[in-house]
Structure 1
Amino acid sequence: MELIRNKPLELQQKVLFDNLKAASQTQYGIKYGFADIKSYEEFRDRVPIVSYEEYQPEIERARKGEENIFWPGKISWFAKSSGTTNAKSKFIPITKESLETNHFAGGKMMFANYLEKHPDTKIFKRKNLRIGGSADIYQEYETKFGDLSAIMIDNLPFWTDFMNTPNREISLMSDWEVKLDAIASSVVKANVGCLTGVPSWMLVLLNYTLDKTGKSNLHEIWPDLEVFFHGGISFTPYKENYDAIAGKPMQYYEIYNASEGFFALQDQKENKDLLLLLNAGIFFEFIPMEGNALDQRKAVPIEDVELGKNYAVVLTTNGGLWRYMVGDTVRFVSVAPYRVVVSGRTKHFINAFGEEIIIENAEVALKEASNKTGATIKDFTGGPIFMQGTEKGAHEWIIEFEKAPNNMDLFVETFDKKLQEINSDYEAKRYNNMTLNAPVIHAARPDLFYDWMKERGKLGGQNKVPRLCNTREFIDPLLKLNQS
């Protein structure tokens, strides 16, 4: 951690050229002359920045077993996630190198940092409660895919089962309802010292476990529980829920990771800013966001970032991603060392529960629902209904119709089913209402969005109705105005 704080530029240069050297004889490396690149400027000028959609053909070839496309050898694992505009799922390549020097190394640094900040901790004598996704085999291509957590669990050394609960077999179950009960039955017998996972899924498990045991708080089950390492979605809407069920004060430490890599972690006890991991196989670049637009030609390495600006994140990884736009935006709050806060996405989105709904998903589902019910939509926006106590979350939408649906219940049902069909993460959260209840849709009065935009001083062709928001910033005032 001290190297990251004290020698950031040297570490990033080493990562870049280590990755270029490793992939110099791959098809991608030969195409762009990796072996001859001697400076960052040459790398920037030769290698294009790509989105998932642009990189997908290479990924699909690798999934079919073709070797040496963008990383040496055959890639056997692909982490499945959502967020692409033209397919239900993304498949992110996971190499042996990215597992060892990034995903696993990030976890080790997370625990080491906690020990540094809390030298009297007992978590290393206790169990870590984890939730893993199901690991399925993509039979047609003979390569494996699954949630990143499942891939990591499947590749961990056997002895780590002594440190984690539940065991590997339960962690990799596919049926969430069966798995939930199996996890709860297993973990109540363990002496748990820490939790690691996504806040929404973990909260479902913890509430289920409390209900199953009849206990009123977590410390009645696990007296030595002291910390929750969380990531994947914003923790802010969930903190009150965790405080309410904890029983006594708990530590919360945030991490910033995704299928593409382990990017940053909270390295200070009180300050929630995230230290970028600059020596973990990822070379970072940043494109300044100007409004909702970005100019790829303005991508800069870490030494050229400015405080307070929003940047789209571009990754070059030892998982075989080259100048890949991950879709997140960050804002630098420190450059000595390099610390960020995650400020959003390059597109409007809802990701309050790990579902990663993007505007294209919403538009496709609304079109399907409109076609089935004879509706015509003028304007819409959507946001989350956050979990409260044991209540599940949901999405809430307000839609102004030019022509109302002939059957509103069918409209809602069709919209929900189509979202599940095109977005695998939303589908997983909606499975039997385990994390998300069915969406709530309100029909807006005529001219609601016009009046709202006028009230905000946002009339004019250059101003657009925000379609999605990860908070209730837009939904709440619209609902209030709709009743006036």
Structure 2
Amino acid sequence: MISLKSALAKPFAKRVYKKIQKWANKPIETQNKVFQELIAAAAGTEFGIDHDFVSINNHEDFVKRVPVRDYEALKNYVEKVVAGESDILWKGKPIYFAKTSGTTSGSKYIPITKESMPSHVEAARNAILMYIHETGNSKFVDGKMIFLQGSPILKEQNGVQLGRLSGIVAHYVPKYLQKNRLPSWETNCIEDWETKVDAIVEETLPEDMTIISGIPSWVQMYFEKLQEKTGKKVGDVFKNFNLFIFGGVNYEPYRAKFENLVGRKIDSIELYPASEGFFAFQDKQGEKGMLLQLNSGIFYEFIKADEFFNENPKRITIKDVKVGVNYVMLISTNAGLWAYNIGDTVEFTSTKPYRVIVSGRIKHFISAFGEHVIGKEVEQAMQEATLDSDIRVSEFTVAPQITPKSGLPFHEWFIEFENEPEDLSVLAKKIDESLQKQNTYYFDLIQGKVLQSLKITKVKQGGFQEYMKSVGKLGGQNKIPRLSNDRKIVDKFEFQN
């Protein structure tokens, strides 16, 4: 028998689908409208006055007056906001600061305003509703759902609440989902990640879990603990678990491992949330890429990734993007970020509608020898090399070995296997061939005998978790970089091999 909640979900999903189609079918007009509204709203702020917003009429004017900035370059404005001043980056004061750990700048304080907060909540809800509309499957709304997230405990700083984004969003779970949502508030407030996951296992075991959500590497830890405790596949523990919602990293390197832990294939929805805004979500099960949120108070600009470090790279809007090109994404938002570089690189998979995949981080690449290898390429190489095999990879990262004891330099792949291959050299060869096929610079360096083929170094089981724990980044929204241009991370692994 269909419950009332499940029955009501379908017409609601249809209504949201129609609303989304309206702006998705008018992408350029939608972004122009967002742009004009942002400039008008912030014209009287300190930033707006400093950058002459009143005389900005179009994107060309904006490019002339507002340079590209990262957090460091915006910091002097942010510090005034943190100190409690009003009308600095956006009108009034923000209602929250999402605190994130920056690599170069220590803690970052990303403002969230009353105008920007709704889109963080609505986008996640709409992703589920689009899935219901497409598949007709709404039974899962009656079961229990879990989101592995940071602590919802917030602190106050000069009248503004401060916490992790996932903890802030926990305060906005709609009433109709409150009864279905796990873990409990008390468990969610546990700071130590391992203790928290143990408590989540205890709380969820007796329940009918239908949706599980979180960053794949941390959900994997939860699944492994469930399996350890019960001796069963996760899909046998939770018979109605059929939807996995994830964000933050590419799921593909984890998919085989997950399906083995669950014991069957399950549908998944990919999200692209960040403290700076909720940028995209997967709107179709059979389509590659996530629908870019063009109507959420965010104006997007793009710079070709391989031109980004040029002196004056060209900034374009969605009107001029091409499918398959690697871009650095810049955002201007109703939280007061302007031509802001969040550090991600994206690639468009479609422009009708505009869908993206996250291809990596502009700082996370290997170009120690001029090869410009990016995250998407190493993930695709791993995926292709392990396809149709029993090899299961728990986690991996890649670094250059510039001064080997003998022979030419090479890329070193640090891999933690759940099920390792009989012959590592065969896997290494397959990965290398895929990488050469994808990246012409890498191909030329291998063929020109500047680099030798990549080598694999095994990391012991649990090695990546130990590393994350050692640097205080176990759990929550933290993730291991897929690749680095130096050996700072992997040097910590040396003793584990």
**Structure 1 position 335, deviation (Å):** 1.5
Indicate yes or no: 2:94 matched with 1:78: no
1:386/1:22 Cα in 2 relative to 1: closer, same or farther (>3 Å)? farther
Paired position in structure 2 for 1:404:
none
Distance (Å, rounded) in 2 between the aligned partners of 1:317 and 1:89: 21
Please report the RMSD computed on the Cα atoms of aligned residues, expressed in angstroms.
Answer: 3.7
Please say if 1:252 is aligned against 2:252: no
1:51 correspondence with 2:70: yes
* Contact kept? 1:273, 1:340, Cα under 8 Å: yes
Tell me whether 1:92 sits opposite 2:92 in the alignment: no
Deviations 1:292-325 (A, max 9, x none): 7355540011101122221110001112111100
Q: Are the aligned partners of 1:348 and 1:358 in contact in 2 as well (CA < 8 Å)?
A: no
Q: Are the counterparts in 2 of residues 9 and 302 from structure 1 also a CA contact under 8 Å?
A: yes
How do 1:69-468 residues align onto structure 2 when only pairs under 5 Å count? 69-85=88-104, 87-100=105-118, 102-135=119-152, 137=154, 141=158, 143-157=160-174, 159-212=176-229, 214-290=230-306, 293-294=309-310, 296-348=312-364, 384-386=414-416, 388=418, 426-429=471-474, 466-467=485-486
> What does residue 457 of structure 2 align with?
none
CA distance in 2, matches of 1:358, 1:467: 9
The gaps in structure 1 that reach 5 residues or longer are: 363-378, 391-415, 440-464, 473-478, 480-484
| In 2, Cα distance between equivalents of 1:144 and 1:426 | 26
Please list the CA deviations of residues 334-384 of structure 1 after superposition, one character each: whole Å capped at 9, or x if unmatched.
Answer: 21221222221111259999x9x999xx9xxxxxxxxxxxxxxxx997755
In 2, are the aligned partners of 1:161 and 1:167 still within 8 Å (CA)?
no
Shift of 1:149: 0.7
Whether contact under 8 Å (1:95, 1:318) holds in the other structure is yes
Q: SS where residue 427 of structure 1 aligns?
A: coil
For 2:320 and 2:29, locate their aligned partners in 1 and report how far apart those are by CA, in whole Å: 14
The answer to whether residue 59 in structure 2 is matched with residue 40 in structure 1 is yes
Q: Partners of 2:190 and 2:310 in 1: how far apart? A: 41
- Which blocks of at least 5 consecutive residues in structure 2 are unaligned? 1-19, 367-374, 380-392, 401-408, 421-463
Residue 112 (structure 1) shift: 1.4
One-letter identity of the residue aligned with 2:415: I
Rate the CA distance shift 1:179–1:119 in 2: closer, same or farther, 3 A: same
Alpha-carbon distance, 1:180 to partner: 1.6
Cα distance in 2 between the residues matched to 1:194 and 1:75: 32
**How far apart in 2 are the matches of 1:286 and 1:425?**
36
How many residues are treated as equivalent by the alignment? 392
Q: Partners of 1:93 and 1:183 in 2: how far apart?
A: 30
- TM-score normalized by the length of structure 2: 0.70
Cα deviation, residue 218, structure 1: 1.4
Give the TM-score, by structure 1 length: 0.72
- How much has 1:232 moved relative to structure 2? 0.3
2:203 and 2:289 map into 1 onto residues whose CA distance is 34
Letter aligned with residue 121 of structure 2: F
> Structure 1 residue 389: deviation in Å?
7.1
Deviation at 1:31, TM superposition (A): 1.9
| Structure 1 residues 175 and 16: CA distance shift in structure 2, 3 A | same
Alpha-carbon distance in structure 2 between the residues aligned to 1:23 and 1:41: 18
Structure 2 CA distance, aligned partners of 1:48 and 1:291?
Answer: 16
Partner amino acid for 2:30?
Answer: L
Question: Cα distance 1:23–1:386, how it changes in 2: closer, same or farther (>3 A)?
Answer: farther
Match of 2:46 in 1: 27
Which stretch of the first structure deviates more once superposed, 344-353 or 141-150? 344-353
Provide Cα deviations, 1:156-212, integer angstroms capped at 9, x if missing partner: 455542232113332232222332222112122322111121001111112112323
CA gap 1:307/1:248 in 2 versus in 1, 3 angstroms: closer
The letter of the residue matching 1:239 is: R
Letter in 1 for 2:37: D
In structure 2, the CA distance between the partners of 1:184 and 1:315, relative to structure 1 (3 Å rule), is same
Evaluate the alpha carbon distance shift between residue 466 and residue 179 of structure 1 in structure 2; reply closer, same or farther with a 3 A threshold: closer
